[in-house]
Structures are given as structure tokens and as C-alpha cells.
Amino acid sequence: MNQMLQDQDVQASQVQTPQAENAPDTPANPPTPEHPHFAKPQRVAFVQSSWHREVVEECRISFLKEIEARHITNVDVFEVPGSFEIPLHAQLLAKTRRYTAIVAAGLVVDGGIYRHEFVADTVIKALMDVQLRTEVPVFSAVLTPQQFHETEVHYEFFRKHFVIKGIEVAEACANTLLSLERLRGQVAAGIPG
């Protein structure tokens, strides 16, 4: 009887193994999603602070890759000294009417002289004001970690985090521009919302 159980176990495992081998292969790279196209060309300004450039630039790199996948290839990059300088640049860029969106990226850390929460709060509020005054959407990847120490561990953690933020801000930018394009088209056509 024990032999029968063992034989059945072996047969069952042999039956499962070929099924697993014949299962569809998982692709090494998942298929690239199809993103909708825009009716009109889009132009985006990317304003990056140079404070902790080696960390913040990861956001720009991943943003540019993701935004191109979403059919936006006209991106102008601007660099400012720190995050505090981003809102004025964003406002001037919005007023040119050359850009359909503006993206801001920076890292605000506690420098010991001032409260970094104050700077971050001021920057975010100012970016919102620019957006509402000009009707040009402004997206923020200005991050304010509670703790940032100039150690390799923290640098590496935030470099990886900014890669993710770059992808997320590209997605938000493209989706918002698509939504606004659709909405403005409906308004121009007199279609009620």
C-alpha cells in the first residue's frame, strides 16, 4: 500500500511538472503599454534645482524616458540654484505660453539654518498659485524628506526614490494634458460637460 501511495505521488508530481514546463513563458520584458496620442503637439518645461543634483537628476532622467513613451517629445530643461527659485521660473515660463505644462523637481533638506518645511511649503504653495493664475498645469516632484543625511545610504535611497517620482510625475503630466485637451475641445465645441 505504501508503494502505491508513493507511485501515485511520483505520478502526480510528474503530471504537474510537464504542465508547469508547458505553461506560457513569462516575457522577460512586459509589453509596452499603448498610450493615447495628443491631437496637438505638447511642449513641457522641466525645472530642476541644482542642490543635490546627483539625486534630483534621477527624476529628470526617468521623467524624460517616461514622457517620451507617452508621446511628448518637446521638453526643455531648466536648472535653478535651489527649490526656492523654482516658482519664479515656473511663472515666467508659464507666461510665455510656449509650454502646455511645467514640471518642478528638487530636494529640500534641513540645512540647519532654516526649517526645511517652511521652504517646501512655500515652494508648493507658490507652484499652485502659478498654475491657478496662468492655467498652465504645474507638477511637483519637489521632495522634503523628514530625515536626510549626507551618507551613501541616504543618497542611494533618494536616487531610487526620484526615479519613481520621475515616472509618476510624467504619468500625471501626460494624463492631465490629455484630460485638459479633451475638456478644452468640448468647451470649444459647446458640448456640455
Mind telling me the catalytic residues?
115
3-state secondary structure of 77: strand
Is the distance from CB of 125 to CB of 160 less than 8 angstroms? no
* Strand, coil or helix: 87: helix
Q: In whole angstroms, what is the distance from residue 163 CA to residue 183 CA?
A: 30
